[in-house]
Amino acid sequence: MLIITIALALPVFGFGQTNEAIQKLNDAGVTIDQIEHSLKDADAEFYFKSSNTTVSKSEDGNPYTSVTICEFDPSKSIEEHWRLISTDGITPTASENKTFNKTSNSNDEFNGKIDLESVKVLSEDDSRLVIGLRFAEKSLPRKFRFYADCDATYTIDKVNKKLVSGTIVNFKETKMSIAKISNVKVDLEFIFLNEAEGYHIKKEQLEMTILVLGQQSESKSTIVYSDFKKVK
């Protein structure tokens, strides 16, 4: 979160093709703004908690599991939006908080945006629409900056006019803090609260092949989001 991924090569499209793809998305009941909703930081309005269960391999090759609880609170100052609550039931130390803040929070205001010229219809039938896209690199909050090195696909249920799922796969080596990531795959499940409150990520499956200080490891994480509450 050994992992094998196939990167989707998305070419650059002209405005006509892009507009047609976005129109198909709109016709299926989903907007670009709704997809971008989960990438907001500065303009985020919803509080939520996340529970991250990660299975990794130790240096001796044996797997170990860690459970991290976090919260996101946009009512706080921008550099305090993400907060680490506990790791394996233990309150974090000052050093652990410092490391977490460095990788998750920023002093600058960002709201993740989609590169509109990258939007493309990958497949469509009577029941579903699958679109491909990339993200605008300079728009991404710190926690999601690796998305700039990824291709994304989103699946829309045309019958019920709902965003169902998304998959994000890197097309080149990317970084998270000091770690180099050769392979990353993120599978997203969405929940639709209501027309006013829109879509939120309900569950995230993250698989990574990581290289830190010459040591390669694999990890798989299951992240569950809950307690959504509008605070701004």
* pLDDT tens per residue across span 181-227: 999 999 999 999 888 788 999 999 999 998 877 778 889 999 999 99
Average pLDDT score over the chain? 88
Residue 96 is assigned to a structural domain of this protein: yes
Show Cβ contacts of residue 200 under 8 Å, excluding neighbours closer than 6 positions. 37, 38, 46, 48, 190, 191, 193, 225, 228
Asked whether residue 2 is domain-assigned, the answer is no
Question: Is 53 within the bounds of a domain?
Answer: yes
Confirm whether 127 is domain-assigned. yes
Q: Is 91 exposed, middle or buried (0-12, 13-18, 19+ CB in 10 A)?
A: exposed
Residue 9 lies in a domain: no
pLDDT tier, 18 (very low <50, low <70, confident <90, very high otherwise): low
**What's the pTM?**
0.86
Q: Which domain holds residue 133?
A: 15-59+66-230
In 3D space, the residue among 154, 140, 226 whose CA is nearest the CA of residue 186 turns out to be 154
Count of domains forming the chain: 1
Q: What percent of the chain has pLDDT over 70?
A: 91
Domain presence at residue 153: yes
pLDDT computed for residue 138 by the predictor: 92
Structure tokens at 132: 């491909």
Q: How far is CA 145 from CA 18, 94, 154, 175, 206, in A?
A: 24, 25, 19, 8, 15
Q: Is residue 103 part of a domain?
A: yes
